[in-house]
Structure 1
Amino acid sequence: MPEALTTLMPHAFILDVEDKPRLKAHFARMADLTQDIPCFALDFTRDYAELPQVRRAVLENFSGN
Structure 2
Amino acid sequence: MTLNALLEEPGCNKSEIDEFILMGEENRYDAQQRLLRKKRQQLLDAIHTSEKKIGSIDFLLSEIRSAADAK
Instruction: Tell me if both proteins adopt one fold, taking TM over 0.5 as the criterion.
Output: no
Q: Greater helix share, 1 or 2?
A: 2
Q: Which has the higher contact order (CA 8 A, sep 6+)?
A: 1
Instruction: Report the TM-score when normalising by structure 1.
Output: 0.40
